[in-house]
Structure 1
Amino acid sequence: MKRAFYVLALCLAPLLAMAELPPWTAPEQRDHPRLGQILETRAGAWIDPVELVDRLASAPYVVVGEKHDNPDHHALQQWLLEQLHARRPQQSLLLEMLVPAQEAKIGDVRAEPDQMDDQTLQRRLDWDAGWPWALYGELLRWGLREPQRLLPANLGRDEILELYRGEAPPMPEYDEDTRSFLQRTIVDAHCGKLPPEQVSSMLAIQYARDQRMAASLSDAPAPALLIAGSFHARRDLGVALHWPEDKTLAVIMLAEAGGELPSAKQADYVWVTPAMPEEDYCEGW
């Protein structure tokens, strides 16, 4: 009887220890019937966050796609990392927001991130203010608390400028449909104001960023998790196009309720969250 109780306790321990999910912050779609649930796209089945952690605990490489301005996406990313780390050490956390020139700076502050205020830590990391510290600061601090865990994933500024100014390289992983879709997306994101030659340059930068993120993740000590924007994370457009065939990759997309959810072609799991208000970024361009 005691043995049976002991075995049951061991089985239940991970569930009992799992932290509560963070409260929602984004204001829209709070009453969506699938809010907080996760779609396993291939089976078309809905699972809860506990089961997602169970499945990802054995995954060597994971990509999580976010909508950059949604605070719930950042809160869920950190919750997921903490739960996975409680199951097994999270060896690597890679961020789109970090570039190679910051790697030495990361090493300099690893021993003392909690002894610095936000302003000092941003300065020491040479943090890009285009990524709001209010959304990313806690994630950075979490990544810095373990030696060698936090790693850059993106291209450096000099590499981007070289691609922008040079002739677009071949992009064999893009078929014609993918290329056309991304070109339209780039034009729309810049309110239709980009000249054609700049569209080609920006497409080359997108391609090279995905290549770099795939290589950085693949080379990182496993289990490794990459956080990136949704287009970089999508299976049909981003990192997965450049992923080594001999390594397993799990793709999770954080998706705002109320819109069309990613398909199995785009992600393995889709976690439904509240939405931020739509903004017209082209107003007054």
Structure 2
Amino acid sequence: MNRTTPASLLLISALLVACAHPKPSTVTVLLDRVLPTPVLMLGEQHDAPEHQVLQREVVQLLAAQGKLAALIMEMVEQGHDTLDLPRDANEARVREALAWSERGGWPWPTYGPVVMAAVRNGVPVIGGNLPRARMRDAMGNGALDDLVGEGVLRRQRDGIRDSHCGLLPEGQITPMTRIQLARDQALAQTVAKAVTPGKTVLLVAGNGHVRRDLGVPLHLPSSLAHKVVMAQAGAAADSDAPPADTVWVTPALPPRDHCTELRQRLKH
């Protein structure tokens, strides 16, 4: 006959407690660091699949708690949303409502699960990006240079130059920088318009757009509280504090020669 010892009773008790109180998910821990807030900016590296998984989980958790006011996406242009769609709308209707285009490098299989998580929970998905039709006007709009300080403007220009591996003609740096500023401004305006008391507006965009020192936060009303989470694949290249409230670190991506890839594209 088997006998239950005091030690085994303690072990069984501990296991039961663990089952009754499961360890919080890492997404829950992350949100505990930044909530409550009327605006949560969630940055990503576009080619890191774990980052879109994080976005979907954040959408699902906030929606389940009734705290998600809207999902604003860089991947969709202003003027497009799912406000008139029912929760059971199929993906084709959702893509049509959002005028989803993969020309900008936004594959639906990658971002569709994030979008549909919001739709299925009755949360509106709203486009926040500058419409392509307005980019030419932005390139010639010198007033955009005055939206930020000279130091920020210089760093934005350096970022455009470096991200294009020094392959852009110098005369294109200022116009391209103005597009970046106009996109940040458009995202900020969309976010501010969607703010709902007692809930959180979630912005999903590239890390360059959400960073506190250069991006969307500089274009929000000064009275609008917000938090920034940057998702980062692999260890940071430098030891400087990241321009965010917290950083979500995921496994490093395989190395890629982006500059060689860009040279090949520019040849065509």
Q: What is the CA–CA distance in structure 1 between the aligned matches of 2:27 and 2:88, rounded to whole Å?
A: 32
Q: Kindly provide the amino acid, as one letter, of the partner of residue 88 in structure 2.
A: E
Identity %: 32
- Count of residue correspondences: 239
Contact 2:234-2:253 within 8 A present in 1 as well: no
Q: 1:138: Cα distance to partner?
A: 0.4
Task: Report whether the alignment pairs 1:53 with 2:27.
Answer: no
Mark the CA change 1:74 to 1:196 in structure 2 (over 3 Å): closer, same or farther: same
Q: What is the CA–CA distance in structure 2 between the aligned matches of 1:272 and 1:157, rounded to whole Å?
A: 32
- Report the counterpart of residue 8 of structure 2 in structure 1: none
Q: 1:240-251 maps to which residues of 2 (within 5 A)? A: 240-251=217-228
Q: Which has the larger radius of gyration?
A: 2
Pick one of 229, 233, 242 that aligns with 1:256: 233
**Aligned residues: CA RMSD:** 2.7
Higher relative contact order (CA 8 A, sep 6+): 1
Pick one of 112, 118, 123 that aligns with 2:88: 112
Q: What is the CA–CA distance in structure 2 between the aligned matches of 1:49 and 1:147, rounded to whole Å?
A: 21
Mark the CA change 1:246 to 1:202 in structure 2 (over 3 Å): closer, same or farther: same
Q: 1:142: Cα distance to partner?
A: 1.2
Q: 1:161: Cα distance to partner?
A: 2.3
Q: Secondary structure at the match of 1:171?
A: helix
Contact 2:76-2:99 within 8 A present in 1 as well: no
- Report the counterpart of residue 250 of structure 2 in structure 1: 273
Q: What is the CA–CA distance in structure 1 between the aligned matches of 2:94 and 2:200, rounded to whole Å?
A: 26
- CA offsets, 1:208-244, max 9 Å, x none? 1111111111111341110010010100000111121
- Report the counterpart of residue 25 of structure 1 in structure 2: none
**Normalized against structure 2, the TM-score is what?**
0.78
Q: Secondary structure at the match of 2:68?
A: coil
Contact 1:255-1:261 within 8 A present in 2 as well: no
Question: Which stretches in structure 1 are left out of the alignment for 5+ residues?
Answer: 1-11, 21-47
Q: What is the CA–CA distance in structure 2 between the aligned matches of 1:92 and 1:57, rounded to whole Å?
A: 15
Pick one of 43, 46, 59 that aligns with 1:68: 46
Q: What is the CA–CA distance in structure 2 between the aligned matches of 1:161 and 1:216, rounded to whole Å?
A: 20
**Normalized against structure 1, the TM-score is what?**
0.74
Q: 1:86: Cα distance to partner?
A: 2.8
Question: Which stretches in structure 2 are left out of the alignment for 5+ residues?
Answer: 1-17
Q: Secondary structure at the match of 1:247?
A: coil
